[in-house]
Amino acid sequence: MNAPPAIPGWFWSAAVFVFGSCVGSFLNVCIYRIPRGESVVTPASRCPICGNRIAWHDNIPIVSFLLLRGVCRHCSGRISPRYPLVETLTALLFLAVWLRFGPGWLTPIYWLATGGLIVASFVDLQHMIIPDRISMGGILAGLFFSVLFPEIHGQQSRLLALGWSLAGAATGASALWAIGVLGKLAFRREAMGWGDVKLLGAIGAFLGWPGVVFSIVASSVVGSIVGIYLIFSGQSEWQGRIPYGPYLALGAMIWILWGPELAAWYQSLVSF
């Protein structure tokens, strides 16, 4: 009896992309409702302009936005481009995680972390806050998965993995808190929000202190470049606050996807 043909890799990649876009659709619900203190489960999605319920065929990730040409079927109100952007970004990042880690428990764990980073980033961009439901929930999730799957910290012992996760969370929160205090003393204004502090704590719980250090460095470099550009282009003032969460999230995602390579590259520089 012949063995059934193997499922080609492109099929799994396509399936992950579709799955990621569906998750992105749910993340859009979280981005809209969590800052408003609303449930992310009920009621069903409605147009924020006219209040009409969105039918299932108008809620297909990415596709429905294109077919409707970016407007509501009922009131012709403009649909925010954030919706297809989040769906596409989530699909691409889920695919990147899949291609990096393949089948196994690490992939859904990092999918969960990716989803949290996306929600935190877009909420921070829109509202200049990072709700505790995201940051504190991320810390608890990171600690939980460290015990359940110690491999995410390269450990075999659950106790050692929990310690690594706790150390990462403490390092992230305390480091960014210290930076905020120094920034306040230097610039005589709040330099770092508590949401950013707790978000980096969540990143540390998932990635350990090396991920925290890289996230701080990467976010500082990218944030400085963007801030300088905004200032010199007249789009921002020195006193204006720039959301820091998206830059931390960017650094964390880079570490998730290429952490070992980055660590090896740094060690080669030091040893050289």
**Per residue in 31-61, pLDDT tens?**
999 999 999 988 888 888 888 888 888 889 9
CA dist list (Å): 64 to 42, 51, 69, 76, 189: 21, 18, 8, 14, 44
Q: What is the pLDDT of residue 49?
A: 83
Which range, of 195-199, 241-245, 254-258, averages the lowest pLDDT? Answer: 241-245
Q: What is the pLDDT of residue 32?
A: 94
Predicted confidence band at 194 (pLDDT cuts at 50, 70, 90)?
A: confident
**The two three-digit tokens of residue 83, written as one number:** 């919706």
**The two three-digit tokens of residue 206, written as one number:** 């998932």
Specify the pTM: 0.90
Q: What is the pLDDT of residue 2?
A: 59
Nearest CA to 149 among 134, 128, 164?
Answer: 164
pLDDT over threshold 60, residue 236: no
The mean pLDDT of 98-109, rounded to a whole number, is: 94
The most confident of the ranges 54-68, 131-145, 170-184 is 131-145
Cis peptide leading into 43, omega within 30 of 0?
Answer: yes
Coil vs helix vs strand at 71: strand
C-alpha to C-alpha distance for 158 and 174, rounded to whole angstroms = 24
pLDDT over threshold 90, residue 7: no
The mean pLDDT of 227-254, rounded to a whole number, is: 79
Question: H-type helices in 102-157, by residue range?
Answer: 106-127, 132-148
C-alpha to C-alpha distance for 155 and 160, rounded to whole angstroms = 7
The rounded mean pLDDT for the chain is 88
Better pLDDT: 230 or 189: 230
Predicted confidence band at 94 (pLDDT cuts at 50, 70, 90)?
A: very high
Q: What is the pLDDT of residue 51?
A: 81
pLDDT over threshold 60, residue 122: yes
Q: At what angle do helices 245-271 and 194-232 cross, to 10 degrees?
A: 90
Each domain of the chain, given as residue ranges in start order, spans: 7-103, 105-272
The mean pLDDT of 57-78, rounded to a whole number, is: 89
